[in-house]
Amino acid sequence: MKLNLLLVAALLVLLALGLLLGETALSAAQYAQAFGDPASGPGEILWAIRAPRVVAAAVVGAALGLAGAVMQGLLRNPLADPGVLGVSAGAGLGASLAIALGLAAIPGGTEAAALAAALATGLLLTALAARFREPETLILFGVALSAFAGALTSLIFNLSPSPVTTAEILSWLMGSVANRSWSDIGWELAPMTLGAVLCVYAARGLVMLTLGEETAAMSGLPMGRLRAAAVAGASLLTGAAVAMAGIIGFVGLAAPHLVRAGAGADPAKALAPSALAGALLLTAADIAARMIPTDQELKLGVVTALFGAPLFALIAWRAARSWRV
């Protein structure tokens, strides 16, 4: 609980920073004007450009952190991340296809395609998880699904007649929360909320899976339903996150590890802090993406990978003890 409060406080600070910092430097008077009159120029920058961007980063980060914690619990594998079962790759494929077919011209077209593809992948995974219970088997299916979706995405690149389309797809896949509007966020909140509810429902099943499939099966908990809820919930969260921001690595992998020292090893107790830590990480990464002075703004997915990979190595080094099998 204390850990959650600490994370909430840190997140609030970062959200405020994200609102105040940006490419366009504003003076104190302009900030005053923005707070007094949201319709003014500085008000537009703050409330229509920066605020939705900051909130989008936090929401996507929370979804990825929560999905990562659920995947690690379900698969009893500290290396699992939200994309481990192929949902991210599936969503990426959906978005790529939509862009290649020109659906990106329709507002929300790419996002809807990404979410639809993620849901299809999630449904397939839920069916597979009901039939194959060993985590190793599920991970192998995930690897196959990821590889296949990746191959199809490459095929789109391969067959794409115009380099512009290719560049557009690549840019989308690299991940960003720039230029997100309140309505973009609104659309993805519904699947994310549903996903979060399913994950919370599945939490007691995740704890039981610590002891393996057979003990869990004999525990009296409705493991079939709990397992399906975990897979479906994590898929919804991941799919909606990818639909909103493209493919963003490492947040879902690192967030649960970051909080495990404070939250303990209990996979159920790691859920809320992982979501908060994910929000924290991605909000910070997005501020970094904006503030690092480059000719072309860094893509969020690039920043999380650049900072996330070494950070993750460090966490893994320190946490190795807690997840020794």
Partner 1 sequence: MTAALSLHEATVRRGDVEVLRGASLTVQAREVVGVVGPNGAGKTTLLRAALGLARLSAGRADLAGRDVASLDDARRADLAGYLPQERRVGWNLPAWRIASLGAARKPPALAQAAALKALDRVGLSGLAGRGVLDLSGGERARVLLARLLVTGAPLLVADEPAAGLDPDAQLLSLELFREEAARGAAVVLTLHDLGLAARTCDRLVVVSAGAIVADGAPRDALTSAVLREVFGLEGALEETAAGLTLAARRARS
**Member of 27, 158, 164, 220 binding partner 1 (CB under 8 A):** 220
Smallest distance, partner 1 to C-beta of residue 192, A: 26
Alpha helices in 103-181 (DSSP H): 109-131, 135-159, 163-173
Check residue 218 for interaction with partner 1 (CB under 8 A): yes
CB neighbour list of residue 114: distance below 8 Å, 6 or more residues apart: 91, 92, 94, 95, 98, 239, 242, 243
Q: Considering beta carbons, is residue 102 or 264 the nearer one to partner 1? A: 264
Q: Would you tell me how many other CB atoms lie within 10 Å of the CB of residue 105?
A: 10
Check residue 212 for interaction with partner 1 (CB under 8 A): yes
Check residue 215 for interaction with partner 1 (CB under 8 A): yes
Identity of residue 155: L
Q: Would you tell me how many other CB atoms lie within 10 Å of the CB of residue 167?
A: 11
Q: Considering beta carbons, is residue 266 or 297 the nearer one to partner 1? A: 266
Site for partner 1 in 70-129 (CB under 8 A): 73, 76
**Member of 211, 291, 292, 320 binding partner 1 (CB under 8 A):** 211
**Member of 208, 244, 277, 280 binding partner 1 (CB under 8 A):** 208
Question: If you compute the radius of gyration of the chain from its CA atoms, what whole number of angstroms results?
Answer: 20
Burial-class residue 96 by CB neighbours within 10 Å (0-12, 13-18, 19+): buried
Smallest distance, partner 1 to C-beta of residue 165, A: 44
Location of structure tokens 């939509």: 98
Site for partner 1 in 2-31 (CB under 8 A): none
Alpha helices in the chain (DSSP H): 2-20, 28-36, 41-44, 51-75, 87-100, 109-131, 135-159, 163-173, 182-209, 213-217, 223-245, 251-263, 271-291, 300-319
Contact region for partner 1 (CB under 8 A) — 26-34, 124-132, 173-181, 211-219? 211-219
| Contact track, partner 1, 258-297, x by CB under 8 A | ------xxxx------------------------------
Check residue 221 for interaction with partner 1 (CB under 8 A): yes
CA dist 178 → 51, 53, 312 (Å): 11, 6, 25
Contact region for partner 1 (CB under 8 A) — 25-33, 183-191, 220-228, 239-247? 220-228
Chain centre distance of CA 140: 21
Site size for partner 1 (CB under 8 A): 28
Smallest distance, partner 1 to C-beta of residue 238, A: 21
Smallest distance, partner 1 to C-beta of residue 104, A: 42
Site of interaction with partner 1 (CB under 8 A)? 73, 76, 204, 207-212, 214-215, 217-224, 264-267, 321-325
